[in-house]
Amino acid sequence: MEMPRSEISTNDQKNVFRTPRESSADRTSGNGNHAAGTALQSRGLHLYYGQTHALKGIDLEMPERRITALIGPSGCGKSTYLRCFNRMNDMIEGVRVEGQVMVEGLDVHRPDIDLERLRKRIGMVFQKSNPFPMSIRENISFGPRMTGVRGRGRLEELVERSLRQADLWEEVRERLDNSALDLSGGQQQRLCIARALANEPDILLLDEPASALDPISTAKIEETLLQLKESYTIVIVTHNLQQAARIADRTAFFMLGELVEYNDTTTMFTSPRQAITEEYITGRFG
Ligand code: ADP
């Protein structure tokens, strides 16, 4: 299933973003700081919350159209790292960032960055599902409306497509005008995924999206993510190591603000390079 996609220019200083479907060939060209197939990247990334040094020199490249899991004990910087890509940490007072953060080859700290467009390219889903107190249909069409999508037909199409992508359509198609708050926890979380997809992002960042859900709802979310990676770059923060092992292509292990190890998931879970990684994945601390 091919989705409408957008390309971010790597070499055009004036137009921070290109419009959808411009030149996919440009993805690998440009100023040379964007390896082919890398969607998200950080170099020497440090982040401070006042005196707290939360990220300590993170170098990481995450491939496009794959699932990357961020694992590690609570407080090690996973959510902070995730929020660097859409510059959500900017909203927190006292935050200082050093180093480079790249989204599809574009340095997100460039002074001329169009933050609104950057954030449109990156959908975000949080641990606690947060549907708007409005109908299922309105939850999905809200974002597109805000960005100027008009026309009942176009909006209806977006609603159906997004709900199908999040594997929720069949469950809600007969009650699109009911309140989203009446859905189950798992359905609400898939609604939040659908809502993120309705903005037609390239990238989905998920911060423990299933940690409050029962095993069946969790499995449903995991299935959905596995389908979505055909078209989207996905990064998921998870406490659930089995979940990382089940769905992630690559896994990054963080501890105390440092990236300890990053590898393909099978290697990480079968023959980790660092003793501390092995201790963590075998449950000796966490
Ligand atoms: P994780 O997602 O791995 O649990 P976080 O990224 O939430 O870790 O936190 C990393 C560190 O940054 C922790 O020491 C945490 O207390 C601190 N931190 C996170 N958010 C804030 C904030 N808004 N203000 C101050 N410190 C924060």
The pTM of the full predicted model, rounded to 2 decimals, is 0.88
Strand partners of residue 124: 205
Per-residue pLDDT tens for 25-56?
A: 333 333 334 444 999 999 999 999 999 999 99
Cβ-count burial 252-285 (b if 16+ within 10 Å, e if not): bbbbebebbbbbebeebbeebeeeebeebbeeee
For residues 24 and 244, the model is more confident at: 244
Gap between the Cα atoms of 281 and 245, Å rounded: 10
Question: What is the atom index within ligand 1 of the atom nearest the CA of 74?
Answer: 4
Yes or no: say if 171 and 163 are a contact pair by the CB < 8 Å rule: no
**Is residue 101 exposed (0-12), middle (13-18) or buried (19+ Cβ within 10 Å)?**
buried
> Is 256 close to ligand 1, i.e. is its CB under 6 Å away?
no
Per-residue pLDDT tens for 47-106?
A: 999 999 999 999 999 999 999 999 999 999 999 999 999 999 999 999 999 999 999 999
What are φ and ψ of residue 57, in 5° steps? 70, 55
> Is 77 close to ligand 1, i.e. is its CB under 6 Å away?
yes
Predicted local confidence at residue 285, as pLDDT: 86
> Is 162 close to ligand 1, i.e. is its CB under 6 Å away?
no
Gap between the Cα atoms of 87 and 109, Å rounded: 8
Yes or no: say if 86 and 118 are a contact pair by the CB < 8 Å rule: yes
Question: What is the atom index within ligand 1 of the atom nearest the CA of 237?
Answer: 2
- If one looks up domain 24-281 in CATH, what number appears? 3.40.50.300
